[in-house]
Amino acid sequence: MVTIGSRHEHLGLALSGDRYGGLVATLVGHDIKAFHSVEAHYADHGYGDLVEFFDDLERSWRGWDGHRSWSSLAGELAITAHHTGSHVVLRVELQHMTSYGGGGEWTALLDLALDAGEDLSSAAAGVRSLLDQTAANRG
């Protein structure tokens, strides 16, 4: 499991592998705790695009203009990042949608501020390591 966010406040996004080689995202905030499985992208045989998203943020740790975004194949997890000069703010959206429109839909949002250096590098390394393990379980 990798946790991205504030360790001392117990706020953040936790990503963990399931026994089938899939991914489960859990958002924990002051007033929320939500989790959902995240569908793997068929084009890269897993979650390579998520690894590349975090690697790109890490390579650009000094800053960038605008927003950078990533979304899972089915849209259940979306992450948008912007750079403030010293921090990277991740807006994480986790949602459950139903195809039949019968209710039960929900969305959880959480903003996470990461130090543009060490916190961002740690997040990228953690995502890379977790998803390498997840790919091995799928293999």
Tell me which DSSP letter residue 66 carries: S
User: Checking DSSP bridges between strand 77-83 and strand 11-17, what pairing results, if any?
Assistant: unpaired
pTM of the model: 0.89
CA–CA dist 94, 25 (Å, integer): 8
Task: State the sign of the Cα–Cα–Cα–Cα dihedral 94, 96, 97, 99.
Answer: positive
Rounded Cα–Cα distance for residues 125 and 43 (Å) = 23
Q: Say yes or no to pLDDT of 9 above 80.
A: no
Q: What is the pLDDT of residue 21?
A: 76
Quote the CA–CA distance of 99 and 121 in Å, as a whole number: 37
What confidence tens digit (pLDDT) does each residue in 29-62 have? Answer: 888 899 999 988 766 667 889 999 999 999 999 9
